[in-house]
Amino acid sequence: MGSSLSILRLFSVLAVFMALVISLFGRQVGAAVAQGAADAAAIAVTDLLPPDWTCAESDLPSDALATASRAAAGRAAQLASVTPTAVEVRTDGTCSVIVSVRVASHGWLATAGALGVACRRPSFARGAALQAPLPPPC
């Protein structure tokens, strides 16, 4: 009887440990997919911008959000259990395009969701203060 209880305790501890490991793995997968999807969407939007873009959010092309959504969905499709649930495209005063992507995991990796944010400047944009060709970090 004593050895049966010891074995039960051991397997209980192992089951809890494995549940924690799988949970952490699921969160990391969701976070990695969200960041990759945000990076891909930011690149797709900045490639879409015309050279005469005025750096204003109102001057973004009308299909910027659709382009970002397609790029995020394409990147997230590489892992079948993760899907993007929200995509947002904004700009800031330094002529940067900021894309945020929220993803949700399904199946045995189910998590509450993860958020990835990427910032990218078009190659034709110059630094705000020094007119430097390299953008400052966002």
Query: Is the pLDDT at 131 greater than 60, yes or no?
Result: no
Share of the chain above pLDDT 90, in %: 20
Could you give all domains of the chain from N- to C-terminal order, each with its CATH number? 2-120 (3.30.1300)
Computed over every residue of the chain, the mean pLDDT equals 82
In terms of average pLDDT, the best of 2-6, 13-17, 93-97, 133-137 is: 13-17
Query: Is the pLDDT at 81 greater than 80, yes or no?
Result: no
Query: Tell me, what's the pLDDT at 80?
Result: 65
**Which long-range contacts does 133-137 make (Cβ < 8 Å, 24+ apart)?**
135/94, 135/95, 135/96, 136/94
Query: Is the pLDDT at 129 greater than 60, yes or no?
Result: no
What is the arithmetic mean of pLDDT over 79-101? 85
Query: Tell me, what's the pLDDT at 130?
Result: 45
**Whole-angstrom distance, CA of residue 115 vs CA of residue 4:** 45
pLDDT digits (tens, 9 = 90+) for 17-66: 998 888 788 788 888 888 889 999 999 998 888 888 888 888 888 899 99
